[in-house]
Amino acid sequence: MANIKQQMKRNLTNEKRRIANASFKSGLKSAIKDVEVSVETNDKEAAVKALSFATKKLDKAVTKGFYHKNYVARQKSRLAKLVNTI
């Protein structure tokens, strides 16, 4: 543990951000999973809705710097192809 006051403050801030980032990433993974599950159950309406939400989350992940733009583009394309197979 740090002895310097400013570093103690930074540690608290870093922990808050770590928790927020983990929550965002978990939500993104859940959104992607929802699309895949909707496709497996052949529910076109739910799949399109889930795809829209997942796309929104993926775009936000790029702006926040979680993932590279090419990774996000690949995921969006993959999910769109899945939904179009229904």
Contacts of 86 (CB under 8 A, 6+ apart): 39, 42, 43, 44, 47
Q: So what CATH class is 5-84?
A: mainly alpha
- Return averaged pLDDT per consecutive 10 residues of the chain, 86 residues in all: 90 97 97 96 96 97 96 97 95
pTM, rounded to two decimals:
0.85
Q: Is 35 in contact with 49 (CB distance < 8 Å)?
A: no
Look at the alpha carbons of 13, 23, 21, 64 in this order and tell me if their dihedral is positive or negative.
negative
Give the residue extent of every domain in the chain: 5-84
